[in-house]
Amino acid sequence: GQNIDQPTEMTATEGAIVQINCTYQTSGFNGLFWYQQHAGEAPTFLSYNVLDGLEEKGRFSSFLSRSKGYSYLLLKELQMKDSASYLCAVLAGAGSYQLTFGKGTKLSVIP
Amino acid sequence: EADIYQTPRYLVIGTGKKITLECSQTMGHDKMYWYQQDPGMELHLIHYSYGVNSTEKGDLSSESTVSRIRTEHFPLTLESARPSHTSQYLCASSEYQGRQETQYFGPGTRLLVL
């Protein structure tokens, strides 16, 4: 089966840096996604990692270590609008296009 | 920005009614998905389709059914709605580009069954 773990909640200060971790145990691996979901809205795509290393996109970066089954999402220069849930999702299984989602990390950015 | 649409956005309906949640995308994506998400909980895949006339059940057991007669359209039907069906239903579509298969989500339908 598939198992994805991430912290339930985090709080950080506006302007700071926050790292949201995700660990996974899956049968097969075809890539890891991070999505942002504001309350009551649909998830929006943030990043994709399939090779080890860091992918940077503006204020957001995502890191992957396949040998450790580990990823993190790094948010820099936090803004109030970054308050949202951040979902880690894994594409697993040979030929699979199905995403397995973690429960999400609810990030609260405070002044 | 992805062009994927869902209607209705909100639906309140009585027990026993038949309902169809609409999902359409204008990107020509072959793969489409339906997820169910309760407030504060993870998304669960309930149906998916790899193309026209292809439909499969997902990880979460669901009493709903789907059809895929046209590439752009993937409706979800509940023959007899029950209060346990109250949830948010999210439709998504995806296309493989380069090494990446990214799913894009519609705005969702919030369903309340009384």
Q: What is the pLDDT of residue A27?
A: 81
Length of chain B: 114
Residue position matching structure tokens 């200060």:
A13
Window A:33-92, CB contacts with B under 8 Å: 33, 40-45, 48, 50, 87, 91
Q: Which residue in A50, A87, A106 is closest to B99 by CB distance? A: A50
Measured between CB atoms, does B67 come within 8 Å of chain A? no
Residue of chain B whose Cα is closest to the Cα of A1: B59
What mean pLDDT comes out for the span A86-105?
83
d(CA A1, CA B67): 27
pLDDT tens-digit map of A21-48: 999 998 888 899 999 999 888 999 999 9
Alpha carbons B45 and B34: distance in angstroms, whole number: 6
> Which residues in chain B touch residue A40, judged by CB atoms under 8 angstroms apart?
110
C-alpha atoms less than 13 angstroms from C-alpha of A45 in its C-beta half-sphere? 19
Structure token digits, residue B5: 């649409």
Strand extents, DSSP E, chain A = 3-5, 9-13, 18-25, 32-37, 44-49, 53-57, 60-65, 70-75, 84-91, 99-101, 105-110
Q: CA B114, CA B112: separation in Å to the nearest integer?
A: 6
pLDDT single digits (tens) B24-49: 999 999 999 999 999 888 899 999 99
Give tens-digit pLDDT for B92-110.
999 877 767 788 999 999 9
Instruction: Tell me: pLDDT of A1 over 60.
Output: yes
Tell me the chain B residues in contact with residue A33 when contact means C-beta distances shorter than 8 Å.
102-103
